[in-house]
Structure formats: structure tokens, C-alpha cells
Structure 1
């Protein structure tokens, strides 16, 4: 307690109670007084608070259930929050004086023309002056910058210059991603690229949870552990579960960055609100409309087909869909076959085995979030041991197979929104050896989501062609 008191007197930490309380009078109910509680740690509202007898204060006292795994926080409990010294402005000034040309941070990474342009704009934003409010005071929140890059554009390589300029000038960097497997995949790449700096990985069960590094790679849930601790916060896949539509994680992400710092948002399919803010000029951003191999994105082809349930019940595939499946198999491609929900995976696998295998040894398997062998099956698919993989949207991100075609069955399902369709389509054409992979939307009806997904892909291709990013003749 003595150390806490000293830190508090030195203004290194804040001491406050665990829940926020707001009182107001509601005019619709005759100005009746009302009290609203919210959690100061995770930002959750009254719907996540549970009232119970408290042996600390001796009365009914609420606590937050949303962040209970981090320890119980009550209204009467003590919440400690601290942050590192905010030297963000000094870091920017040092960068300008010592290094001069931002291109020095880009050259080592071998970026393409489109990647270089995006990284350069991002560097200019990071080293730019902080915004000011209408009173001429420095803004109270970190500045935000969006990188809107197509699937397969190489977003990880584009953020290397941002990390480089920050750590080289004494700053701390956080790279947040939705899934543990992506954290583990990024760790060796970041460690190799920045071998002179300490790298810490944080996820559920991580052994480094008490360590501090100049570069921290973490799942989005781990953001609740920090308060104004980083000069640069990079949030990958802002449209993905569990970050998307999660107020608790959005609250955590807003407070991990220093007020003088910068939030970099990465996405191939930004949420509607973010996309509109960018298009209306309210959110600084840059688009990367082309993949590293400089070929157009495959545009999905629509196939009229009955519902998947009907095909399963009749044990028949429409000729239009069957012909495309056979053509993909014969050209030597591996097939992603996406279905709307888990219960359709195994019946679809059985149907495709009957229709496609015939006398050959074509390996057809299925997987989903409930598959205990999912990691092994994905590994076998990557190694071409499995030629056709039936799956759900669990594999719409993060899996790259060099020569692959994508079939989305029941593409008119309400479970497939525009972002999901774009992400699934993005599994095809990612390799420079097979840039023109095929994508098919098989459905009974053409939905708005299908039209918007195709429109978004075509728009990115038009932007890339206009900027001269494609190889000649593309």
C-alpha cells in the first residue's frame, strides 16, 4: 500500500472505485431521479452488472460480470490504472530531425508500389501534427488512420515501417488481432523483422502476461489489461469477430493508446460506419486496391442453383454447379466449399463424395468450429492432402492455399453478409502462380449482399487499373 500511495502522489497511477455512476432526471417520467452504473474497466453497462450482498461495504453492491475473468470489480472496490510517460510529441520531433526522409523506413521491406504508397501515407500521418479541438487545445483522443486493403494485399508487410519508426524513436507498439492463431503466426515474423527489439505475445494462457516489450502482439481481449500504454496501436481485422460489434473491446481499444498516439485500423471489409466515415472525409485513410502480384481480384460468378437442403435431400447437384466443380478439380485446383451453417457440413461432404469422387481417389473432407480436428484438417488442406474442403465462415480469413477456387453454396443465406462474401471470395487468386482463381456464388436468389460484394470487388479493380497498378494487359 505504501508503494501505491507513493505512485499515486507522483501521479503515476490513478486510484478510483471500480464502477462509474451517473445520475440524471428523466423528464418523460416527471423528472424522476435515475442512477446508471457502468464498469470503468471494460465499459459495460447495467446489463452486465449483478447486484449482490457485499462483505466489504456491508450492503447490496453491483459488480461487473463482463470482465469477471480479470477479477471481480465492484462499485466499492479499488481500481488502479496507470500509463507510461507520454512522450509521443518528442518521438515525432526526433523522427523529423534525425531521419528526414520517411522512405528510409520503407526501403528495407521490399514493398510493392501500392504497398509503398499506403505505408508512406501512414508514416506521414503518424509523424504529422496532432489535431486540435475547437478551443485550440490538443485533442483528448488518439488520432485514427484506416488502411483499407483488399484481401491478400500484404497488410502485415505494410505495417512494418510504422512499427520501425515508432520503436526506433523509443515508442511502444501494440498489434492487436482477433484470434490466438494469428498472434502465434505473427510472432516469429515480427521477431525476425525486429530482432533488435523485445517482442511480447499475449493471449489466453500466455506465459508472458507479466512481461513488457517494445512490441506487443495480443488478442483483442488482452487490450483490457492496458491503459494509455502505447504510442502506436494497430488493430487488425476491425470487422471480424470478436472485435466487430463488441462495445467492450471497442472501449478497451480506445484507452490502450496514449492521447498523443495513433490508432491504425486495418481491414479489407470495413464496417459500414467506418466505411462511410472514410468516404465522407471524416476518417483519414488510404486504399490498397491490388494484391502484391499485381493481378485483378477474381470477380464472383453467379450460378442459379436450388437450396442446398434440396440438393442434399434429392442427392443431386444442378448441372451448372456440377460442371464448375468438375472443371476446378480437373484444372488441379483445391476447392473451398462454403456452407452457411455447421449442420450442412457433413451432408454436403457426403453428397460431394458421391458426385465428384467416382473412381478416383479425390479426398473430400469437412470442418467447422466444432471440429476437434480442425487444425489438422486445415494443415492437410494446405499440404494438398485434401482437395475439397467443405467449411463454414470459420475459414473465411487467415487461410491461404496457392491454387484454389471458391464455391459459396446458399450464397443467398442471411448468414452471408457483404463482408463475409468478400472475405470468402478473397481465398481465391492469392498466389502469383494462380492469380485468376475462380469464385462462384451458387444460390436460388440474388441478394443485395451478393450484389454489393461483387460491386465492391469490381470497384477495387477499377481503382487499381486507374492507378496503373496492374501488369500490362490486365
Structure 2
């Protein structure tokens, strides 16, 4: 979606910036931009990057890196504008503003924009383009409800509930890559061990089950292994809710009724499924003991986008 904007600036000799809050997303986008714009000089900037002194016609950076620029870019694209650390950080807002040339343009991107921006768009105070469909023109996967015990109850009993086992078996049988989101970092490793204990029941080898979080020093390596399918089930936190595209993915969100998972977070996690044209449908499961307003709102938002896409004739 952003490639035509970038191309319009680059073909006229201008400079373009794509900024995103997280290093993981920068590393995800870098090879895709390199493939799309092989003839343009590029700089990829994040904490620890070897290119920190590089300048390019096309710059991809974490939002903290914008502090180093002054009126440098004709086009500034801020991706995931509602994500930490960009969201509510006035210093980063200022940095994003000052790095654009006075004659340049800024475009803000998000699947879940903050309420004040949504309100401004509705009142015509902010120019807005709403895109309700992915490039492959299939509906967004609508989450299904799994009424199951909490993660802590599963860990105490050292047992997976049958409903969860059946859903996981279905995803495994269709050779999907499986995201399993949990609320807390401390739950990742114990739940990995529980899944490995049930590997035979799931008809997988224990070594293809792993976990990662913000505290994991080799998180990037594990995401690469997940993409390359040497890991098939990845237990993780919201650190991977954005920017990671894994073909043929299914998503399981456990303890979906946890207050840490608001509607925006649930929409983002659900968005890991159905991203590829080879497997546009995917499956998303909300696993929880209770049904919350956040879950209802997330499903309502996804259905609303599908309805809009259908009404506007975007869907195949």
C-alpha cells in the first residue's frame, strides 16, 4: 500500500522515510523494501545498527532515530503510530515533525488509530483514507471463541483442555504456523514446557515448539526460525502483535479476557492471520474463561471492516 507513495517521491529524486516504533518491525520491513526498491540507496537505522552513519534516498528507522534528522525528508511515513514507544511520547512527535522538509508530507499509518485521531478524521479535521481490505482482496479472519480455563489453571493441572487441543490439532494438520499469545512474559516458558509435554498428543515433535518475549536475547533468531518453519508453534507476548508477517499463520490468544489485552491489541494480534495470498483466510481463536467488552469490540471492528470492503466491492 505504501510502495506507490514511496515510488512517487523516489522517482523525482526526493528522500523518503518509513518510521516504525519497534526494532522487530524494522528488521521485518528491511528486506521487503530492498526487494521493492533495489535501485535506490537505503539506510536501515535502529539501536545497534551498523548503518547508523548512512544516508539513503530511502530510510527505514525506529522512531527514536528521527531525533538525528532536521528537515531531511520529502515524505515521512509513521507506521504503527499508536504503538509504544511512539504513542503519547511528545518528544517523538516533535522529532517526527522536524525531520520533514517544510514542503514535505507526513502520512500516519495504523490498523488501530487512537480515538482522538479517529474523531478528527470523522469531523474532517484530518485527511483520512480508510482501507478495509488486504491486497489479496479476501475478508479479514473473524476470531472464533474458545471457552477454556485460564493459563494458570492449565499450568497448575499440567494439562491442556480438549477444546484447545482440538483447535491446535486442526491448525497443525493444515500445516499452519501457529502464534500462541499469552499476557505475561513469565508465562511463556512454562507454557512452552506444557505444550512440549503434550507434543505427542498434538502429533508434533517437541523441538518445533518454542517461545519468545521482550526479555529474549535471541528473539530475532527465533522469529527467523519461525518464518523458515523450523519452529512451528511460537508462544509469545504482545511484542509480536505488530509488523510480523508469517505466511499461512493461525493465531491463538489465551486469557483473552485479561485486562492487558484491550480491543486494539486483540485486533493487532488477530491481524497476524490471513496475511498471505496463498492462505488468506487463516484462523483466529480467542481463548478465555469469560467474554469481555474488549473481545466483543475487536470482533465488531473486524466485521465492520469486512462489511465495508464488501459494500465497496473490494472483496473477490
Q: Which moved more, 1:333-342 or 1:166-175?
A: 166-175
1:231 maps to 74
1:143 maps to none
CA deviation vs aligned residue, 1:313-359 (integer Å, no higher than 9, x gap): 11233333232222222232222111001111122112222334238
Q: How many residues are matched?
A: 314
1:457 maps to 302
1:266 maps to 109
CA distance in 2, matches of 1:468, 1:393: 33
Q: Report the CA distance shift for 1:335/1:204 in structure 2 as closer, same or farther (over 3 A).
A: closer
State yes or no: 1:442 paired with 2:292: no
Structure 1 unpaired stretches of 5+? 1-157
CA distance in 1, matches of 2:162, 2:34: 50
The DSSP-based 3-state class of the residue aligned with 2:2 is helix
What's the offset of the Cα at 1:181? Answer: 4.2
Question: Among 89, 92, 97, which residue is 1:249 paired with?
Answer: 92
Structure 2 unpaired stretches of 5+? none
Q: Of the two structures, which has the highest relative contact order with CA contacts closer than 8 Å and spacing of 6 or more?
A: 2
Question: Among 121, 132, 143, which residue is 1:278 paired with?
Answer: 121
The DSSP-based 3-state class of the residue aligned with 2:261 is coil
State yes or no: 1:164 paired with 2:7: yes
Q: Taking structure 1 as the reference length, what is the TM-score of the superposition?
A: 0.62
1:345 maps to 188
CA distance in 1, matches of 2:187, 2:28: 30
Question: Among 295, 298, 305, which residue is 2:138 paired with?
Answer: 295
CA distance in 1, matches of 2:142, 2:31: 34
Q: Report the CA distance shift for 1:290/1:205 in structure 2 as closer, same or farther (over 3 A).
A: same
Question: Among 382, 396, 405, which residue is 2:250 paired with?
Answer: 405
What's the offset of the Cα at 1:245? Answer: 2.1
2:315 maps to 470
2:238 maps to 393
Check the 8 A contact 1:340/1:393 in 2, yes or no.
yes
Check the 8 A contact 1:339/1:408 in 2, yes or no.
yes
Q: Taking structure 2 as the reference length, what is the TM-score of the superposition?
A: 0.91
1:175 maps to 18
In terms of fraction of residues, the more strand-rich structure is 1
1:19 maps to none
What's the offset of the Cα at 1:275? Answer: 1.9
Point out 4+ residue stretches in structure 1 off by more than 6 angstroms: none
CA deviation vs aligned residue, 1:63-102 (integer Å, no higher than 9, x gap): xxxxxxxxxxxxxxxxxxxxxxxxxxxxxxxxxxxxxxxx
The DSSP-based 3-state class of the residue aligned with 1:288 is coil
Alignment of 1:137-152 (within 5 A): none
CA distance in 1, matches of 2:27, 2:300: 34
2:152 maps to 309
Q: Which has the larger radius of gyration?
A: 1
CA distance in 2, matches of 1:182, 1:347: 27
The DSSP-based 3-state class of the residue aligned with 2:109 is strand
Check the 8 A contact 1:326/1:356 in 2, yes or no.
no
The DSSP-based 3-state class of the residue aligned with 1:267 is coil
